[in-house]
Amino acid sequence: MKARLLTTISFFTYQLSISQTEKLVHGKVLSENIPLNKVEVINKTAKISTKTNELGEFSILVKAHDSLIFFYKDSFFSRLKISQESINQNNIIVNTVLKPEELKEVVITKVAFDKVKVDADAVADVLIDKNVKNLFWNTGVSDNTIREALRVSFPLKGKPNKKIEVADDRFKKLIMAYCPADFFIKNLKLKPEEKELFIDFCDSDPKSKTLLENPNVLAIMDFLYAKNEVFKKLK
């Protein structure tokens, strides 16, 4: 009986040790079935990283429940939770979504406009109608209207040369560039109406300015997850 119990305990101990041991897994990163080169593959849990080759292939040490982040400059980052099944299959396939390409400059070579046709008779009719309605032109009696009046502009009250402060939206643009559209709802478990409030909450933290100076996907993820914990406690 004791021997059987010891055998059972040894078996489960062995299985547990295997599951907690890091293993080298292989995978591939694609976008619309096209391999992506130089995608940064980050094991957020183990704090290690690697990059894909020309065929989109990568190898990295992982263990069950590790979090992998896939970052590429032209796509939104992807996040994958490693399961024991993924380790056993040893063939991770990740599909990323490329960002929409923005046009930096549009050059217009030639624009053709239709010529404006002026009807001399129509212009004359307008002038005649205007003069008919003018009391002074018809009778010489003033109707107290100011003719050919100058446009006069008055300065606004207040301090002269007051500077208008422009809102700093650099942090919001940084987050939008690094995070996919469903990140806040799917990963951070926020409600749609809480998204803008959460970004403003993060922007108010002085650490967000540090991220602007040295953008790093891993640092940004750690910052957002940490702020999300605080944000949930404040609700």
Each residue of 135-177: pLDDT tens digit? 554 555 555 555 544 444 555 555 555 555 566 888 888 888 8
On the question of pLDDT at 19 being above 60, the answer is: no
Q: Over the chain, what is the mean pLDDT?
A: 76
pLDDT at position 18 is 47
In a domain, 47, yes or no: yes
Closest by alpha carbon to 28, among 64, 76, 80? 80
On the question of pLDDT at 88 being above 50, the answer is: yes
In a domain, 140, yes or no: no
In a domain, 141, yes or no: no
Residue 57 — pLDDT band, cuts 50, 70, 90? Answer: very high
- Comparing 37-41, 153-157, 180-184, 222-226, which segment has the lowest mean pLDDT? 153-157
Stretch 28-36: mean pLDDT, rounded? 91
Stretch 206-225: mean pLDDT, rounded? 86
Residue 136 sits at φ, ψ, to 5 deg, of -70, -40
Q: Residue 47: which CATH number?
A: 2.60.40.10
3-class SS of residue 105? coil
Provide the percentage of residues in the chain whose pLDDT is more than 70. Answer: 62
pLDDT at position 37 is 92
More confident residue, 5 or 209: 209
Could you tell me which residues come within 8 angstroms of residue 74 by beta carbon, excluding any fewer than 6 positions away?
Answer: 98, 99
Domain boundary at 95, 121, 146, which? 95
In a domain, 85, yes or no: yes
Domain boundary at 33, 63, 95, which? 95
pLDDT at position 41 is 93
Provide the percentage of residues in the chain whose pLDDT is more than 90. Answer: 23
Joined together, the tokens standing for residue 100 give 């929409």
On the question of pLDDT at 181 being above 80, the answer is: no
Whether residue 35 contacts residue 54, with contact meaning beta carbons closer than 8 Å, is answered with yes
In a domain, 118, yes or no: no
Most confident of 10-14, 17-21, 71-75, 111-115: 71-75
Cα end-to-end span (Å), the chain = 55
Q: What is the tally of structural domains in the chain?
A: 2
On the question of pLDDT at 46 being above 60, the answer is: yes
In a domain, 74, yes or no: yes
Domain boundary at 95, 127, 160, which? 95
Residue 59 — pLDDT band, cuts 50, 70, 90? Answer: very high
pLDDT at position 148 is 47
In a domain, 120, yes or no: no
Surface-to-core class of residue 187, CB atoms within 10 Å of its CB (0-12 exposed, 13-18 middle, 19+ buried):
middle
Stretch 208-226: mean pLDDT, rounded? 85
On the question of pLDDT at 62 being above 90, the answer is: yes
pTM summary value: 0.49
For residue 25, the enclosing domain spans 14-95
